[in-house]
Amino acid sequence: MKVNVAMLGMGNVATGVYKTILKNKEIIKHRDDVEFNITKILVRSLDKERDTLIPQEILINDINDILNDDSIDLVVELMGNVEPTLDYVSSLLKKGVSVVSANKDMISQHWPKLESCAKEGNSGLYYEASVGGGIPVIKTFLDSLQSNNIEKLSAIINGTTNYILTKMSEEGLSFEEVLKSAQEKGLAEPDPISDVEGHDAKYKLSILSSLAFHSKIPVSKIYCEGITDIKVDDIMYGNEFGYIIKLLAIGKRSGDDIEVRVHPAFIPERHPLSSVRDAYNAIFVEGDAVGKLMLYGRGAGASPTASAIISDMIIASQTVSHKYTTFRNIDKPSKQINFMDNWLGEYYIRLTVTDQPGVLARVATIFAKHNISLESLVQKSKGQDEVPIIFITHTAHEKDIMNALDEMKDTNAIVDVASLIRVER
Amino acid sequence: MKVNVAMLGMGNVATGVYKTILKNKEIIKHRDDVEFNITKILVRSLDKERDTLIPQEILINDINDILNDDSIDLVVELMGNVEPTLDYVSSLLKKGVSVVSANKDMISQHWPKLESCAKEGNSGLYYEASVGGGIPVIKTFLDSLQSNNIEKLSAIINGTTNYILTKMSEEGLSFEEVLKSAQEKGLAEPDPISDVEGHDAKYKLSILSSLAFHSKIPVSKIYCEGITDIKVDDIMYGNEFGYIIKLLAIGKRSGDDIEVRVHPAFIPERHPLSSVRDAYNAIFVEGDAVGKLMLYGRGAGASPTASAIISDMIIASQTVSHKYTTFRNIDKPSKQINFMDNWLGEYYIRLTVTDQPGVLARVATIFAKHNISLESLVQKSKGQDEVPIIFITHTAHEKDIMNALDEMKDTNAIVDVASLIRVER
């Protein structure tokens, strides 16, 4: 079966898709007898120098050449951004042309609209590549975990921050040092804000948690904290307690109560997520039937992303009905969900205090007043004017912790509330 | 959509399926509007005491009650064994009734027959639960890695042996001690041969490697070595070199050359498979597009297996055409494949030698004669009559290693070739 394909965009990932389709033509054809014939590629500039494999004559720069071409069976959208992409994709879906996309910004913010366009046109939107690169996480939620109530998902879904935290942990370098060298190596963007502040992970968590909990989880409801304030000292102290630091995207559900949050977290070194190093991604899921499940792999890069996109292309080509695409009948609007912000968790807290009698008693009193009990406490040095003390709490409410820390900030003998890092198990 | 289901067998996993369908009815229905109505359950004895949830009146003990019942849409086979199961399943498939099965013995040995029956009846055989319990590994190969040439898969697919090796490694107990306590806890079978000798993993590897390499990989072509000879000493020595021991099921492909083998192996402690502890399973795949991918989860147990079975049931119910089930157009018969037995690998070798001058020189001479170069060497003690020496080789051919060890066995100063463990990276 020959499938005529148009591509929107011809950047790094799109070039990877094009090359993989050429190189692995036989294996793509082997199982499902699908042959992709790329007939048009929408680009911004027709004159830009490109990989010599890309034939100049299929490049176009007017979207109408694709919208008005009835010979096109399938569109692969890799131009990114929300505008004008959303308009293009909506028009295609309404017209009955299925779209494969890796555009997490567009999908996380506009999937209800995209879904209704797809229903109108009886087409499908496929987006395996929007989260976790080559990791088949979307299909796992849509196809393999259908009989499960998903209780929790914890994901490392930003490669840049995982690379930075791995280097900080293993080489004792500061955030700034690692970021600089990652930028030099092309492992971090020149403008790293979206990655290091957790926004990229937040978009992806919106998609994953909407799928996991069968509910619309808007990006705006996700608590988000990045890794820019993480200090090497805390990574090392955490290590002594048997913890590894990761930027986690967490979704938890209990009935209609849902908490969704992106923040740095300490996890036990024996947790499977601890072994996810460098730029790798992993999604750890807990379901009531399946138990604990983890998917691990390369979350970015032209070639792994191409693997996910082509798998979607094959499925989209072979499917008579597209009813199982997009988010599949999510009928719980976000107003029916109780978005939690007063989570229960454990906490790593580092204070800087003056080294004098009675200080610890005052700190302990404040903790007790806010219903916080302590699992352990370590004072790291002695005999200096100011010393660090590290506390690991038992399970406590987020708001109690914040109130306790506010009170400590106003306490004379406590010089500084230096760090707060959540502990996940 | 109401789907009438018959079940073959009502053991532990079948009870898990039954209960999960009852308990998670709403979530199963939610996405695909599928409702399973279990109308008949084939059992050996109608009188056996069962979970009170199972209605007595749907139990039957004659397969013809199912074969001749045209109201049955789908059959779930969980009776195990090859005979008479193969006959039952073949008849159903030929008749046009799709079957969901977790029967790795039957599927690994008879899938060409099953596939032809399914084609004849335009039905489907679904077997996600046959390997890795709740881990979606079959769907990942069938749907998500289609554009990849799979180069290698390395899998921990037997929970019992992984539990035993984890306990031996972490608690320093012998194989016999751990096996006994595992049997007492119900974590190992009273007759553990199929697990500890690697046969269970071999059946599963036959299924996985057939899918991964688009080729028929018969069970009989798989090299198989179990864990019964693994000594705690070697686990500890390996640890000093930074290695963890696992029972791996390995498939490697290069063109038409395929090697398939199940044996204990040392892997670097930073390899993602090293973090797979206790009875957990994981499948580590290397594809030319996706790169490295790992799927981790519970490989056995009623509830995780039920998760996989119900996901297959939903897909089987919704699919108009079953052309994507079973092994999908594998057209390379095993006679076109060159099954390799002279693998290239690295090796951990422990010798017991007499502690006298010149012995090491003789060992080194034998290694050199067989083209084996050494990466490292440690003599563990001194001053006793007989001392252990441990060698880690550079990459060498399996047959050269075996020839060298044979020659060493005939050498006077070498008391014993105590252990040989392959090293995988």
Burial track B169-197 (b if 16+ CB lie within 10 A, e otherwise): beeebebeebbeebeeeebbeeebebbbb
Omega before A55 within 30 of 0, i.e. cis: no
B28 touches chain A (CB under 8 A): yes
Which parts of A122-231 fold into alpha helices (H)? Answer: 137-139, 159-171, 175-184, 193-196, 199-213
**What band does B335 get if pLDDT is binned at 50, 70 and 90?**
low
Which residues in chain A have their CB less than 8 angstroms from residue B148's CB? 24, 27, 307
Nearest to A134 among B27, B128, B291 (CB): B291
Residue of B31, B271, B281 to mutate, testing the A interface (most A Cβ within 10 Å of its Cβ): B31
Compare all CA atoms of chain A with the CA of B296 and give the residue at the minimum distance: A294
pLDDT of B416 > 60? The answer is yes
CA of B396 vs chain A CAs: smallest distance (Å): 29
d(CA A355, CA B34): 66
Phi and psi (nearest 5°) for A340?
Answer: -85, 140
A307 touches chain B (CB under 8 A): yes
Q: Does B307 contact A145 at a Cβ distance shorter than 8 Å? A: yes
Map tokens 């079978």 to a residue.
B189
Lowest mean pLDDT among A264-273, B117-126, B256-265: B117-126
Show the tokens assigned to B333: 């018969």
Q: B365 pLDDT exceeds 70?
A: yes
pLDDT score of A83 more than 90: yes
- A264 near B CB under 8 A: no
Cβ distance B297 to A291 less than 8 Å, yes or no, reads: yes
Q: For an interface test with B, which of A1, A3, A13, A31 has the most B Cβ atoms less than 10 Å from its Cβ?
A: A31
Q: How confident is the model at residue B202 (pLDDT cuts 50, 70, 90)?
A: very high
B59-60 sheet: strands from edge to edge: B59-60, B35-42, B2-8, B74-77, B98-101, B125-126
For the stretch B223-281, pLDDT in tens is 999 999 999 999 999 999 999 999 999 999 998 899 999 999 999 999 999 999 999 99
Q: Which chain B residues touch A318 with a CB distance below 8 Å? A: 324
Residues of A whose CB is below 8 A from B30: 214, 329
Total residue count of chain A as it appears in this document: 425
Q: Is A255 on the interface with B (CB under 8 A)?
A: no
Tell me, yes or no, if B319 comes closer than 8 A to chain A by beta carbon: no
CB contact under 8 A, B298 and A315: no
**The pair of three-digit structure tokens given for residue A78, joined into one six-digit string:** 């890799």
Nearest residue to B310 (alpha-carbon basis) of B102, B93, B157, B123 = B102
Q: Say which range, A378-387, B69-78, B180-189, B383-392, has the weakest mean pLDDT.
A: A378-387
ipTM of the complex: 0.95
The pLDDT assigned to B32 comes to: 79
**A196-228: per-residue pLDDT in tens?**
999 999 999 999 999 999 888 999 999 999 999
Distance of residue A23 Cα from the nearest chain B Cα, in angstroms? 10
The per-residue pLDDT of chain A, averaged, comes to: 93
* Neighboring chain A residues of B274 at a CB cutoff of 8 Å: 275
Residue A159 pLDDT > 90: yes
Catalytic residue among B202, B204, B221, B252: B204
In chain A, what residues touch B244 (CB-CB under 8 Å)?
none
**Predicted local distance difference test score (pLDDT) of residue A319:** 77
| Unique residue bearing structure tokens 């590549």 | A129
Question: What's the pLDDT score for residue A30?
Answer: 83
| B29 carries an active-site annotation | no
Which residues of chain A does B129 touch, with a Cβ-Cβ cutoff of 8 Å? none
Residues 6+ apart with CB under 8 A from A366: A404, A407, A408, A411
* Per-residue model confidence (pLDDT) at position A49: 87
What is the torsion angle, in degrees rounded to the nearest 10, for the CA atoms of residue B76, residue B78, residue B80 and residue B82? 0
Delineate the domains of chain A, giving CATH numbers in brackets. Answer: 2-133+304-318 (3.40.50.720), 137-298 (3.30.360.10), 344-423 (3.30.70.260)
Q: What is the pLDDT of residue A51?
A: 85
**H helices of B216-356, where?**
232-240, 302-318
Beta-bridge partner residues of B281:
B297
**B212, B214, B216, B220: CA torsion to nearest 10:** -20
Q: What is the pTM of this model?
A: 0.96
A184 in helix, strand or coil? Answer: helix
The pLDDT-based confidence of A42 (bands split at 50, 70, 90) is very high
Residue numbers of A annotated as active site: 204
A295 and B295 within 8 Å at the Cβ level: the answer is yes
pLDDT at B59: 97
Say what the pLDDT of residue B51 is.
Answer: 85
Closest CA to A286 of A271, A266, A276, A265: A271
Helix (H, G, I), strand (E, B) or coil at B233: helix
CB contact under 8 A, B147 and A293: no
If phi > 0 it is left, if psi is from -120 to 50 it is alpha, else beta; for residue A155 that is: beta
Residue contacts between A and B (CB atoms, under 8 Å): 190
Tokens matching residue B354: 């007499």
Q: 């979350």: which residue's tokens?
A: A299
Query: Which chain B residues have a beta carbon less than 8 Å from that of A310?
Result: 146-147, 289
Chain B closest-CA separation from residue A361 CA (Å): 40
What pLDDT score was predicted for residue A355?
A: 87
Residue B333: cis peptide before it, omega within 30 degrees of 0: no
B306 at A interface, C-beta within 8 A: yes
Which chain A residues are within 8 Å of B134, Cβ to Cβ? 289-291, 293
Cα separation values, A92 from A3, A322, A323, B362, Å:
16, 14, 16, 75
Average pLDDT of the residues in B73-88: 97
- Closest among B18, B23, B24, B25 to B43, alpha carbons compared: B18
Q: Decide if A1 contacts A33 (C-beta within 8 A).
A: yes
The string of pLDDT tens digits covering residues B135-155 is 999 999 999 999 999 999 999
Residue A335 has pLDDT above 80, yes or no: no
Residue given tokens 């499948």 in the structure block: B283
Instruction: Give pLDDT, residue B323.
Output: 61
Nearest to B305 by CA among A277, A290, A329, A216: A290
Are A297 and B290 an interchain contact pair (Cβ–Cβ within 8 Å)? yes
Q: Write out pLDDT tens, residues B32-70.
A: 789 999 999 999 999 888 888 899 999 999 999 999 999
Q: What is the structure's pLDDT at B383?
A: 73
pLDDT exceeds 80 at position B341: yes
Q: Which of B139, B147, B270 sits opposite A27 (nearest CB)?
A: B147
Lowest-confidence pick of A243-247, B113-117, B282-286: B113-117
Q: Tell me, what's the pLDDT at B326?
A: 56
Rounded Cα distance between A33 and A54, Å, is 24
Interface test with A, best of B24, B141, B146, B166 (most A CBs within 10 A): B146
Give the residue from chain A lying closest to B308, CA to CA: A144
Smallest Cα distance from B412 to chain A, Å: 45
